[in-house]
């Protein structure tokens, strides 16, 4: 029991029995109040937040089930134990479903009740601790929509938190679908500018002829269709953050104008001569190799260094395969909540999870989300996603190459089968690279040609 006295409400319509139990509970350190009916119990619950509820199941008028329902509706963390003279398996299952932690059949020894109280309190304590730990883990493994628990992602979270406290320009790099905009939003949301606007502009999604006006704004009559003055994204993001996605697609002329903004924090709207000053933090992103573009002369070197003050690289999904189960379940939980009608808990079968982890994911997290959505749609009414629900290319995926990132299922694995699939995958990759030339493939794998052929035949038969 805890050091502080626990307040307990005892509900039973047998007065003599109730008073004896209440006295013994008081001697054991509990502060006990009594109720002889369900109605009286509800009045007591209205007046005070008890730590523990002990109630008979069968009461005249409002019965014990209703008392339990009302108690949990008001106080979800209350510990409840049911005592009854008509106990059976069905009643025990029912009160457990209602939320009771213990079930005792009359007559019973008082020590049995104390044991149930101690057990129930321990269960409640562990549940509370687990909820706290889960919340801590979620905070650690999630940052403003970015999810991960691999070392590379934990390092990314730490970098984002550090970068966010500054006003320096940030260049986010990473493949398509890795979550570059999510990282930009995380930087903004963790920064002193969080109360101001986060304005995003995809430079590759707007025609070059309109991109300048979209970025800097324009005045009436600046070009055909400019029927009124219009703020650009830079002004909209004043005192906040401007996110420039796919910045590598900007024309050289626009690159020069962006460079001036970064240097002087001022610009002119299209068609205007008046200078506009802004206080804006620029976060840029690209999936292009800007260093190579600088070498090729397609991207300004001075702009590259202005943007690349703090580089932040988002790893590809295949670099953090151990995050795939976490991400998959996160997406699956979201689709289950949004379903009409909402579906209960849906999980992913281990075989399907292995296929997800083995795939190369050229589209990264965005592609994974699409695959999970497809699998969810193809499994109506089921509580588990199967490997057969995945696209064909995933069903044929070999085991992930890095054993350190292979998720070992709870029941274990057939090691010989896993090793065989891994071996077969390597041979197939070697043959693909050599256009089917077995001699060259054998050289790649440091095998004799005859050994490779024998292995291939054996593996194809298994």
The confidence score (pLDDT) of residue 2 equals 42
Structure tokens at 133: 């730990």
Can you tell me the distance from the alpha carbon of 9 to that of 98, in angstroms, rounded to the nearest whole number?
A: 18
The confidence score (pLDDT) of residue 1 equals 39
The confidence score (pLDDT) of residue 408 equals 57
Q: Which of 3.40.50.740, 1.10.8.60, 3.50.50.60, 2.70.70.10 would CATH assign to domain 317-412? A: 1.10.8.60
Can you tell me the distance from the alpha carbon of 363 to that of 374, in angstroms, rounded to the nearest whole number?
A: 15
3-class DSSP assignment, residue 286: strand
Could you count the other beta carbons within 10 Å of the beta carbon of residue 177? 20
Can you tell me the distance from the alpha carbon of 371 to that of 393, in angstroms, rounded to the nearest whole number?
A: 11
Domain covering 146-313, topology: Rossmann fold (3.40.50)
> Following DSSP, what letter does each residue of 295-360 receive, concatenated?
HHTSS-HHHHHHHTTEEEEPPPGGGGGGGHHHHHHHHHHHHHHHSSSPP---EE-HHHHHHHHHS-
Return the CATH superfamily for domain 414-462.
Homeodomain-like (1.10.10.60)
CATH fold match for the domains 7-135 and 146-313: yes
Residue 226, burial from CB neighbour count under 10 angstroms (0-12, 13-18, 19+): middle
Closest CA to 83 of 106, 63, 62: 106
pLDDT for 113-152, tens place per residue? 998 888 887 777 776 666 545 544 444 545 667 888 888 9
**Measured in whole angstroms, how far is the alpha carbon of residue 226 from the centre of its chain?**
43
Can you tell me the distance from the alpha carbon of 411 to that of 69, in angstroms, rounded to the nearest whole number?
A: 38
From first CA to last CA, the distance across the chain in angstroms is: 59
The confidence score (pLDDT) of residue 3 equals 57
Can you tell me the distance from the alpha carbon of 454 to that of 425, in angstroms, rounded to the nearest whole number?
A: 15
Could you count the other beta carbons within 10 Å of the beta carbon of residue 175? 18
Structure tokens at 157: 């979270």
Report domain extents, the chain: 7-135, 146-313, 317-412, 414-462
The confidence score (pLDDT) of residue 137 equals 46
Return the CATH superfamily for domain 7-135.
Response regulator (3.40.50.2300)
Structure tokens at 88: 């059976």
The confidence score (pLDDT) of residue 133 equals 52
Positions in the chain whose pLDDT score sits under 50: 1-2, 132, 135-139, 141, 399-401, 405
Question: Across the chain, how many H-helices and E-strands are there?
Answer: 19, 18
The confidence score (pLDDT) of residue 150 equals 86
Q: Per residue in 412-434, is it b (16+ CB within 10 Å) or e — as a string?
A: eeeeeeeebbbbbbbbeebbeee
The confidence score (pLDDT) of residue 138 equals 47
């Amino acid at each position: 029991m805890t050091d502080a006295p626990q307040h307990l409400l005892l509900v039973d319509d047998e007065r003599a029995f109730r008073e004896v139990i209440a006295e013994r509970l008081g001697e054991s350190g509990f502060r006990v109040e009594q109720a002889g009916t369900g109605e009286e119990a509800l009045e007591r619950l209205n007046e005070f937040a008890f730590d523990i509820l002990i109630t008979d199941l069968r009461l005249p008028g409002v019965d014990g089930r209703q008392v339990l329902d009302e108690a949990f509706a008001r106080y979800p963390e209350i510990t409840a134990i049911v005592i009854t003279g008509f106990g059976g398996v069905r009643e025990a299952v029912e009160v457990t479903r209602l939320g009771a932690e213990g079930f005792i059949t009359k007559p019973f020894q008082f020590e049995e009740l104390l044991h149930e109280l101690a057990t129930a309190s321990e269960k409640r304590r562990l549940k509370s601790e687990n909820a706290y730990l889960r919340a801590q883990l979620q905070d650690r493994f999630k940052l403003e929509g970015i999810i991960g628990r691999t070392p590379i992602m934990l390092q990314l979270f730490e970098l984002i938190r550090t970068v966010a406290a500054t006003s320096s320009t940030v260049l986010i790099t990473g493949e398509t679908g890795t979550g570059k905009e999510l990282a930009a939003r995380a930087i903004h949301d963790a920064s002193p500018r969080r109360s101001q606007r986060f304005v995003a502009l995809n430079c590759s999604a707007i025609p070059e002829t309109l991109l300048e006006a979209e970025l800097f704004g324009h005045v009436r009559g600046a070009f055909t269709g400019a029927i009124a003055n219009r703020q650009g994204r830079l002004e909209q993001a004043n005192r906040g953050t401007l996110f420039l996605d796919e910045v590598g697609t900007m024309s050289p002329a626009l690159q020069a104008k962006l460079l001036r903004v970064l240097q002087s924090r001022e610009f002119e709207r299209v068609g205007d001569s008046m200078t506009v000053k802004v206080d804006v933090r620029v976060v840029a992103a690209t999936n292009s190799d800007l260093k190579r573009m600088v070498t090729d002369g397609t991207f300004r070197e001075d702009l590259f260094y202005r943007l690349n003050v703090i580089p932040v690289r988002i790893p590809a999904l295949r670099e953090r395969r151990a995050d795939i189960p976490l991400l998959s379940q996160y997406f699956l939980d979201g689709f289950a909540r949004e379903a009409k009608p909402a579906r209960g808990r849906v999980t992913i079968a281990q075989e399907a999870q292995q296929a997800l982890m083995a795939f190369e994911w050229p589209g990264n997290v965005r592609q994974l989300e699409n695959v999970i959505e497809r699998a969810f749609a193809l499994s109506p009414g089921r509580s588990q996603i199967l490997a057969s629900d995945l696209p064909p290319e995933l069903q044929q995926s070999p085991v992930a190459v890095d054993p350190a990132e292979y998720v070992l299922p709870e029941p274990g694995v057939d090691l010989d089968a896993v090793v065989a699939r891994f071996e077969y995958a390597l041979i197939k990759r070697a043959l693909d690279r050599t256009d089917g030339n077995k001699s060259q493939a054998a050289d790649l794998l440091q095998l004799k040609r005859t050994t490779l052929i024998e292995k291939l035949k054996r593996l194809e038969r298994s």
